[in-house]
Amino acid sequence: MAFMSGLGRKITQTGHEMVQKTKEAAEIIKYNGLISEEEHRLEQIFSRLGTEIYEQFAPMCLENFGDIVAEIKESQAKLQDYKEHIRTVKGIINCPHCSQELSPDAAFCSACGHRLENENTASSAAETERTCPNCNAPMPEDFLFCIECGTPYPQEEPCTEETAPACEEGPAAETKTESDRT
């Protein structure tokens, strides 16, 4: 019985020691996390300080820090090239008015509303050779209304002896003739 009593005390003591060590480990982990967070915060502060000093004093610091300033400019140029490559791979274009990133098939900028003249629009127009009389968007042959502004497309009538002069002048002449009649 003394053996069992001693064993019970030993197990209890070991359990208390394990609980204490677990608490200590948790406390150490907690403070290591706090240290890591504070070190990261300090790095951000130093980075911000360096950025502000660079932006304010770079032209004056060329004498003392010319190599570092040159490295910064080289790195910034590489970053710009890498970002441009990603935009090219994704097929993203930038609005020429506000620099907003846009889909290559966008007709207008989603940020400023600027009308975009891109290669896709130009190639589509060349393929269809018809454009909307209101906004000059490409007019596919089978569409009845402009998908850009909603203007109805003029319906072309077959050429007859009566409409021959208008047919020779093209669809724009037919539209004018119809509007002149009304």
Alpha helices in 91-133 (DSSP H): 119-128
103 lies in some domain: yes
Considering only 1-10, 76-85, 130-139, 159-168, which range has the smallest mean pLDDT? Answer: 159-168
Task: Judge contact between 94 and 87, C-beta under 8 A.
Answer: yes
Q: Which domain holds residue 80?
A: 73-116
Q: Pick the more confident residue, 70 or 169.
A: 70
The rounded percent of the chain whose pLDDT value lies above 90 is: 15
99 lies in some domain: yes
Average pLDDT value for residue range 2-24: 86
112 lies in some domain: yes
> How far is residue 137's CA from residue 107's CA, in Å, rounded to a whole number?
9
Residue 166: CB partners within 8 Å, gap ≥ 6? 173, 174, 177
Alpha helices in the chain (DSSP H): 2-90, 119-128, 164-169, 171-181
34 lies in some domain: no
Q: Is the pLDDT of residue 182 over 50?
A: no
104 lies in some domain: yes
Confidence band for 35, pLDDT divided at 50, 70 and 90? very high
pLDDT of 157 reads 58
> How far is residue 57's CA from residue 68's CA, in Å, rounded to a whole number?
13
142 lies in some domain: no
Q: Is the pLDDT of residue 138 over 90?
A: no
30 lies in some domain: no
pTM (2 d.p.): 0.39
Confidence band for 176, pLDDT divided at 50, 70 and 90? very low
Alpha helices in 91-130 (DSSP H): 119-128
Q: Pick the more confident residue, 126 or 88.
A: 88
pLDDT in tens, 60-114: 766 777 788 888 889 989 998 888 888 778 778 888 889 888 888 888 888 888 8
- State the total domains in the chain: 1
Computed over every residue of the chain, the mean pLDDT equals 77
84 lies in some domain: yes
